[in-house]
Amino acid sequence: MSETVILAGNLRKRYGDIVALDGLDLDVRRGEVFGIVGPNGAGKTTTIDCIAGMRRRDSGELRTLGLDPSRDSRELHRRVGLQQQESELPERMRVGESIQLFSSLFGIDPPRMELLDRVGLGDKVNSFFAGLSGGQKRRLFVALSMVQDPELIMLDELTSGLDPRGRRDLWNLVEEVHGSGRTVLLSTHYMDEAQRLCDRVAIIHRGKVVAVDTPEALIREHCPGMRLRLGCGRDFDPVDALRLEGVLGAEMLDETCIMDLVDAGTVVPVIKALSDAGVSLGDLHTERPTLEDVFMVITGREYGDADE
């Protein structure tokens, strides 16, 4: 599990005046689902393209499966599967034909129906590409990325633009692929996706890795507290909440006071103190911090904002 599959050091890439990668460092271990997270424009796709040998880095050290992607791209493409963010096939190409086409590029004959069944497209073998839904197209491209039975699978913004059902179907697929023992590199701007799927995540901001660890460890380190939403009535002054021990922040939203607490153990004492003070309490809801909160703390911005 500790064997390094991807190693990048001080990776740099520019497009004219635009700096896509600005000294990026990365270390991905065999058998894990590793997430590259950040907003659109942070450098996620450029990172994956360089790792896969689709783009040449300007400078820096980079090894994928022990190979230099710029020099050994031919051999690398036999060992790495890639689902790109923007992919298309001819509209009148049938699903089964696409598997045959990609297989011929590698000179192999994989079990076509087994591969399609694995991604939930066994009943679509004779369907035209144009007739597939967005989620089905993404699943097909995952199948195509596995044609050569790769050691490493890279998925770039796999669920971008899909509805909740489509996203969850693909989450299940990623978990199944991971269960087969492959290493998965996943880029996404959906923090809930990374928190659900990834063993470790690297947060990228303006072309640099600004934090890397397990989702749980990142949350514990950067957002150790608890959020409490408590119905207190429209006339409640949040300043009264701030006077209570363990309350780090408080603001009103309609009749609800939203309080940031030191930890989960503060919830009951705060509720008791407000009740003892005569505050008429209503509905309450507690929330643990998420990767989205971590991103906002580390970068000081909303994670959905694109880099300029």
Token readout for 288 is: 């643990």
- Tens of pLDDT, residues 246-298: 999 999 999 999 999 998 889 999 999 999 999 999 999 999 889 998 988 88
pLDDT at 301: 54
pLDDT at 296: 87
Supply the CATH classification number for the domain 225-288: 3.30.70
Could you tell me how far CA 295 lies from the centroid of its own chain? 12
Residues of the chain with CATH 3.40.50.300: 4-219
Residue among 182, 160, 179 nearest 170 (CA): 160
Mean pLDDT of the chain: 90
Categorize the per-residue pLDDT at 302 as very low, low, confident or very high, splitting at 50, 70 and 90: very low
- The answer to whether residue 303 scores a pLDDT higher than 50 is no
Residues of the chain with CATH 3.30.70: 225-288
Reply yes or no on domain 4-219 having CATH 3.40.50.300: yes
Q: Model-level pTM?
A: 0.84
Token readout for 120 is: 């939930």
- The answer to whether residue 163 scores a pLDDT higher than 60 is yes
